[in-house]
């Protein structure tokens, strides 16, 4: 499997989906919103973009299966298989409200082994991409995680829960704690964008719970290829299908300690 070639082909397919999303953004109306469940929004844009991605990816790697947010393939996912892991529009709520922070995220994995990742943020026309043992890139510039060594010097990104509020008090305590121990906290509203920014050295760390594999797959590959560290909230490796993630550079161990001691 030529991962570099596959990555380049994936970029072109992702760009086509992003172009569709940007065209629809100009005329999107909120009366086209659907609710999957509490505060979990979707639209025809998400679904059509996913169909475009699946159609294109099927041509370049027909033996792969799919794990997708919107489930348009009708497949029952097998996490142990060779899978394209797709979020056709990460940051749907931002998109719906006209906030230009959203992206298309596509990863390829065999089981938990991540092979390539592509994230395109169409509003800035930035393509973040990489493949296993091939490095990570933003457009034509090679990426590296930040050189910051301590949590105190770090700018941290996170996401706010919009369901499963039973852990909200513990989450808010950690947020308060980190506000006092870092340069600040940012909440962009698109986990894949956050992860891409960690890989690019813009954020020094990221943490969130209640995520899915399609939120993380591409971004995790990029961070690892950019020299960063990724764990679950306990400091282990059960993040891709486990639902929580801590990613970062020099202050990662301190971030894990702050979350592990106060969240679980």
Cα–Cα dist 223/11, whole Å: 18
Establish whether 215 is an annotated binding residue. yes
Strands 40-42 and 34-37 come out as antiparallel
Residue 223 token pair: 């961070």
Establish whether 89 is an annotated binding residue. yes
Establish whether 31 is an annotated binding residue. no
Place of tokens 């059960």: 238
Cα–Cα dist 233/237, whole Å: 9
Are 146 and 204 in contact, with CB atoms under 8 Å apart? yes
Strands of the sheet containing 82-90, edge to edge, are: 65-68, 82-90, 103-110, 113-121, 126-131, 136-138, 141-142
Are 49 and 105 in contact, with CB atoms under 8 Å apart? no
Establish whether 34 is an annotated binding residue. no
In sequence order, what E strands does the chain have?
A: 34-37, 40-42, 65-68, 82-90, 103-110, 113-121, 126-131, 136-138, 141-142, 155-158, 184-186, 205-208, 229-231, 245-248
Cα–Cα dist 75/229, whole Å: 32
Cα–Cα dist 8/22, whole Å: 21
If you write DSSP's letter for every residue of 234-245 in order, what string do you get?
TSSS--TTTS-E
Pinpoint the alpha helices (H) of 61-131: 92-96
Establish whether 78 is an annotated binding residue. no
Known binding-site positions? 69, 87, 89-90, 215
Known binding-site positions for Mg(2+)? 69, 87, 89-90, 215
């Amino acid at each position: 499997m030529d991962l570099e070639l596959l990555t380049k082909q994936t970029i072109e397919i992702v760009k086509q989906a992003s172009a569709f999303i940007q065209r629809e953004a100009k005329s999107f109306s909120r009366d086209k919103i659907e609710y999957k469940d509490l505060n979990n929004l979707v639209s025809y844009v998400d679904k059509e973009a996913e169909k475009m991605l699946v159609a294109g990816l099927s041509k370049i790697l027909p033996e792969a299966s799919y794990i997708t947010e919107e489930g348009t393939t009708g497949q029952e996912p097998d996490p142990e298989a060779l899978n394209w892991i797709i979020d056709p529009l990460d940051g749907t709520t931002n998109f719906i409200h006209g906030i230009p922070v959203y992206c298309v995220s596509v990863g390829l994995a065999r089981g938990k082994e991540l092979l390539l990742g592509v994230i395109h943020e169409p509003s800035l026309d930035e393509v973040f991409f990489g493949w296993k043992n091939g490095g990570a890139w933003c457009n034509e510039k090679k990426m590296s995680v930040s050189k910051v060594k301590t949590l105190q010097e770090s700018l941290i990104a996170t996401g706010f829960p919009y369901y499963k509020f039973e852990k909200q008090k513990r989450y808010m305590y950690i947020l308060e704690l980190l506000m006092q121990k870092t340069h600040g906290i940012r909440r962009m509203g698109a986990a894949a964008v956050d992860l891409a920014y960690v890989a690019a050295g813009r954020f020094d760390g990221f943490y969130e719970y209640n995520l899915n594999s399609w939120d993380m797959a591409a971004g995790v590959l990029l961070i690892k290829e950019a020299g960063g560290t990724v764990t679950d909230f306990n400091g282990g490796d059960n993040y891709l299908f486990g639902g929580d993630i801590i990613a970062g550079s020099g202050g990662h161990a301190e971030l894990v300690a702050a979350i592990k001691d106060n969240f679980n």
